[in-house]
C-alpha cells in the first residue's frame, strides 16, 4: 500500500472517531472516507509545532470543490491560510499569517484568531456586573484589548473534523475556567468552522457560562485579496452597510454616542477605495491612525455587513453576520517588520480586518446592546466570509 494511501486510511479512522464525538454516530454511518482527489471536499491533519510547555499544535487543511484550501490551527483557532481563486481561476492565499508557531506565539497582531473572551476594548480593564466590579488586564495602553494577556487567540483548542454534504469543517472547543483573565464564570465555548462548496467560510459560535459574565467573540482575520504579502490594501473597494458608528476617544474607547456617518470620510455606504480618504484630517481618522472603528450595522439578523472588491484580481469578499457591529481596521499598526507566510514583509496597511462584534466597551455603556451572558442562556452568533469573483 503506498504510504499516502496508508496515511489517508489512518486519517479516515481518526476522523470517524472525531465525527462520532462531534456529531453523533448517525452522521458517521452515512459519511464515507474521502480524499482530496477529483475536487471532492477533504480534510487532513498535520503537526504544526510544539509550544514551550510541550503541547502539540496541529494544522488542519480543508479543501472544497470550489478551488478553496483553508488551513486552521488548534492554537488560537487561527485561520492560517485561505487560498481563493481569482477571476481567472488562479489561487492565492488572501489572509495574513505566519508559517511557524513561534511567530504566532511571540509576535502575532491577532492574525486569523478566535478573539475572546471580549473582542475589542474594555475601558481601563474594568466593568461592573450585578454590583460587583471586575478587573481585567490592561494590555493596550490604559485599556483591556481582545481578552487580555492570554486571550482565546493564545489558547489551545480541541478540534473535531466533520463532513456534511459538500462541506467540510472543524468543531473547535475550549473551556475557559472561572476567573481566567479576570472574567467571571466558566465559559464553555464552541466555534464551528465550515468550508462550504460555494466558497464560504462559516463560523458558528456558541458559549454558556456558570456565572453571569460578559462575552464578545469574533475572528480577527486580516485580508489582502491580492494575496498576502502582495502590497497594500488601499485599492480595495469597500462597502459597509452601516449608517452610524461609535466614535472613539484618544485611547480608542467609544464616547457612547452613535452619530450618522453621512458627510464623514468614514462613510462607506457607497463602494469606495480604502485608500481614498485614509489620510483625511478628520479627528476620528487621525485618532485611529487610519480606520479602526466600529460600525453600527443597518438591519438585523444574518445579513451582508460589508462587501470588498479587489479590482486587479477580481476577488470579492462579503462579510455576512448577525452581529450589531463591525470593526473595520485598516492594518495601521503593521509596520513592515513582520515576515508573513509567503516570506514577504507586511508593510503598514497591507491587510485589513472586518471583525463582526458587539460594540467595543459595551459592559460600560448601558445604551449599547448588552453583552451580558447569564447561566442557562446560550450565546450564539454566526459570521460568514463569502468569496466570489467579478471580471
Respond yes or no: is residue 310 known to be catalytic.
Answer: no
Query: CB 293 → ligand GLA: shortest distance, Å?
Result: 8
Say which residues have a Cβ less than 8 Å from residue 263's Cβ, sequence separation at least 6. none
Say which residues have a Cβ less than 8 Å from residue 338's Cβ, sequence separation at least 6. 98, 103, 107, 109, 345, 346
Say if residues 333 and 106 touch (Cβ distance below 8 Å): no
Containing H/E element for 29? Answer: helix 25-29
Task: Quote the CA–CA distance of 195 and 62 in Å, as a whole number.
Answer: 7
Task: Quote the CA–CA distance of 99 and 59 in Å, as a whole number.
Answer: 11
Q: If you ran DSSP here, which 8-state letter would residue 287 be given? A: H
Asked if residue 327 binds ligand GLA (CB under 6 A), the reply is yes
Cross-strand pairs, 57: 49
When binding is defined by CB under 6 A, the residue of 110, 162, 193, 387 that contacts ligand GLA is: 110
User: Beta strands 242-246 and 292-297: pairing type?
Assistant: antiparallel
Residue whose CB is nearest to ligand GLA in the complex, by number: 329
Rank residues 162 and 222 by Cβ distance to ligand GLA and give the closer one.
222
Respond yes or no: is residue 47 known to be catalytic.
Answer: no
Asked if residue 148 binds ligand GLA (CB under 6 A), the reply is no
∠ CA 88-89-92 to the nearest 5 degrees? 110
The pattern of x and - marking residues 63 through 102 that bind ligand GLA according to CB under 6 A reads: ----------------------------------------
Say if residues 182 and 191 touch (Cβ distance below 8 Å): no
The pattern of x and - marking residues 243 through 262 that bind ligand GLA according to CB under 6 A reads: ---------x----------
From 144, 355, 358, 365, active-site residue:
355
Q: Site size for ligand GLA, by CB under 6 A?
A: 11
When binding is defined by CB under 6 A, the residue of 57, 92, 113, 145 that contacts ligand GLA is: 145
When binding is defined by CB under 6 A, the residue of 333, 335, 370, 377 that contacts ligand GLA is: 333
From 146, 220, 236, 365, active-site residue:
220
The pattern of x and - marking residues 276 through 295 that bind ligand GLA according to CB under 6 A reads: ----------------x---
Residues that bind ligand GLA (CB under 6 A): 109-110, 120, 145, 252, 292, 327, 329, 333, 353, 355
Residues with active-site annotation: 220, 355
Amino acid at each position: 500500500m503506498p504510504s499516502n494511501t496508508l496515511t489517508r486510511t489512518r486519517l479516515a479512522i481518526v476522523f470517524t472517531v472525531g465525527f462520532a464525538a462531534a456529531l453523533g454516530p448517525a452522521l458517521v454511518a452515512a459519511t464515507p472516507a474521502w480524499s482530496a482527489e477529483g475536487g471532492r471536499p477533504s480534510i487532513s491533519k498535520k503537526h504544526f509545532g510544539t509550544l514551550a510547555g510541550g503541547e502539540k499544535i496541529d494544522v488542519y487543511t480543508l479543501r472544497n470543490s470550489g478551488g478553496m484550501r483553508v488551513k486552521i490551527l488548534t492554537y488560537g483557532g487561527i485561520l492560517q491560510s485561505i487560498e481563493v481563486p481569482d477571476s481567472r481561476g488562479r489561487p492565492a492565499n488572501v489572509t495574513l499569517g505566519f508559517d511557524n508557531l513561534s511567530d504566532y506565539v511571540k509576535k502575532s497582531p491577532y492574525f486569523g484568531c478566535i478573539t475572546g473572551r471580549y473582542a475589542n476594548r474594555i475601558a481601563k480593564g474594568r466593568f461592573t456586573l450585578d454590583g460587583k466590579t471586575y478587573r481585567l488586564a490592561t494590555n493596550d495602553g490604559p485599556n483591556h484589548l481582545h481578552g487580555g494577556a492570554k486571550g482565546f487567540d493564545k489558547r489551545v483548542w480541541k478540534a473535531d473534523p466533520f463532513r456534511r454534504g459538500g462541506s467540510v469543517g472543524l468543531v473547535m472547543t475550549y473551556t475557559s475556567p472561572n476567573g481566567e483573565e479576570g472574567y467571571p464564570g466558566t465559559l464553555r465555548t464552541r466555534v464551528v468552522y465550515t468550508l462550504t462548496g460555494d466558497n464560504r467560510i462559516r463560523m458558528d459560535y456558541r458559549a454558556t457560562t456558570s456565572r453571569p459574565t460578559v462575552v464578545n467573540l469574533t475572528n480577527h482575520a486580516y485580508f489582502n485579496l491580492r494575496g498576502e504579502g502582495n502590497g497594500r490594501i488601499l485599492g480595495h473597494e469597500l462597502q459597509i452597510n452601516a449608517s452610524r458608528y461609535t466614535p472613539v476617544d484618544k485611547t480608542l474607547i467609544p464616547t457612547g454616542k452613535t452619530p450618522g456617518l453621512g458627510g464623514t470620510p468614514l462613510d462607506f455606504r457607497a463602494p469606495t477605495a480604502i485608500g481614498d480618504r485614509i489620510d483625511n484630517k478628520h479627528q476620528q481618522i487621525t485618532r485611529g491612525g487610519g480606520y479602526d472603528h466600529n460600525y453600527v450595522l443597518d438591519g438585523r439578523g444574518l445579513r451582508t455587513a460589508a462587501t470588498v472588491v479587489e479590482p486587479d484580481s477580481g476577488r470579492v469578499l462579503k462579510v455576512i453576520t448577525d452581529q450589531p457591529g463591525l470593526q473595520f481596521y485598516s492594518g495601521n499598526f503593521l509596520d513592515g517588520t513582520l515576515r508573513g507566510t509567503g516570506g514577504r514583509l507586511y508593510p503598514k496597511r497591507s491587510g485589513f480586518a472586518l471583525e463582526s462584534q458587539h460594540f467595543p466597551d459595551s459592559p460600560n455603556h448601558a445604551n449599547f446592546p448588552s453583552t451580558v451572558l447569564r447561566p442557562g442562556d446560550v450565546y450564539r452568533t454566526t459570521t460568514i466570509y463569502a468569496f466570489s469573483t467579478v471580471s
